[in-house]
Amino acid sequence: MSRGRSCAAQMPALKTEKTTELKSRMLYPSKRDDSIKARQKKFYSSCVLSLKFYKVRKTLGPFAAGGRLISNIRSLADRLEGIQSDGFWDEALCCLPSLGLSKVVFLDLSRRSAPIVRSNAGQLWNEKFIASVKGGNDPFAANCLSRIDPVQTGIAHLEPYAYLSDPERDLIAQGSEELGIQTGMSVTIRPHPTGAGIGWNLMTGHCVREFAQLRAHYEPDWRAWCQLVFAGLTMQGSDTDAPSLTPREQDCLAYIADGKRTVAVAYRLGISETTVEMHLRNARNRLGAKTRDQAVAIAIRKRLI
């Protein structure tokens, strides 16, 4: 009994000792505790840095590793330099195999009474297409040239577009068969609410899965090619002096041409996204461009970037 009582009496003393030791460790941490905290702090810092790096890489996109896009369109601009009229168009078409494209159609409906159509499908097909456009039967203008974002085209992409009528589906199927294509994508230069816009239909003979892979790799190049060729076609015979851009406007346009987004440009230049947008807007106004893609094409064409 006496032994039991002595153990019970010692319990409060042991608790007090442990409490005092814990408080002491909290107030005066040992070197071991310091090293643990240092390792934890380093680990958390590395996690934060990794997250930031991931966000930046995600923002920069697939072309962050190099200047492949801008070098390609500069190369194209050099090839097209000094070429006039139909020679310019033929030279531009020579680039299609390197871009994974088989057929392209350029459509300018800014004047409905006299639509402009260019393609590599042949004169007979062009005349038939113009007749369809004038008759208001072709669905491309209404569904693609009325919006700035790309629309997937071709018979293999019909399923998601339930709003298309049976005649429109038949027309798309017929056109796909005549051109030997399956999939494609629109690139709108100047949208118009009623479809009286300007744009391209870029087409391939690939299936949906293959086209998705091709688009993931080449879409910035496709858009750049469309804008550059459009700028070349509309600038034929123009002798006006090249407008001047500020160094900051040139920097922003060059980064956009290199495939970078506004967030990435702001990160690279150390300025806010709002400031980047302001410089891009000013550059578009100076160049007389409707979109940033068109501003890039004109700037490269005039050797401003």
Q: Is residue 7 part of a domain?
A: no
Q: Both 219 and 108 in a single domain? A: yes
Amino acid at position 297, single letter: A
Residue 266 corresponds to which tokens in the numbers above? 């702001």
* DSSP state at residue 76: H
pLDDT of residue 54: 38
Q: Which residues contact 238 (CB under 8 A, 6 or more apart)?
A: none
Report pTM: 0.63
Give yes or no: residues 224 and 76 share one domain. yes
Q: What is the pLDDT of residue 101?
A: 94
Residue 225 domain-assigned (yes or no): yes
Task: Kindly state whether residues 221 and 84 are assigned to the same domain.
Answer: yes
Please check whether residues 196 and 265 belong to one and the same domain: no
pLDDT at residue 148, as a whole number: 87
Tens digit of pLDDT per residue, the chain (305 long)?
444 454 545 555 545 555 555 555 555 555 455 555 555 555 555 444 344 333 333 333 333 333 455 556 666 666 666 665 557 788 888 888 888 999 999 999 887 678 889 999 988 888 888 888 888 888 898 899 988 899 999 999 998 888 888 888 998 999 899 999 999 999 998 888 888 889 999 999 999 999 999 999 888 888 888 888 887 777 654 545 567 889 899 888 888 877 788 898 999 889 999 999 999 999 989 888 888 888 887 887 777 87
Please check whether residues 184 and 294 belong to one and the same domain.
no
> How many domains, the chain?
2
CATH of the domain at 172: 3.30.450.80
Torsion of CA 45, 261, 223, 165, to 10 degrees: 90
Identify the domain containing residue 229 by its residue range: 69-234
Q: Give the domain CATH number at 291.
A: 1.10.10.10
Position 41 in a domain:
no
Half-sphere exposure of 285 (CA within 13 A, CB side): 8
CA 246 to chain centre: 24
Residues 230 and 251 in one domain: no
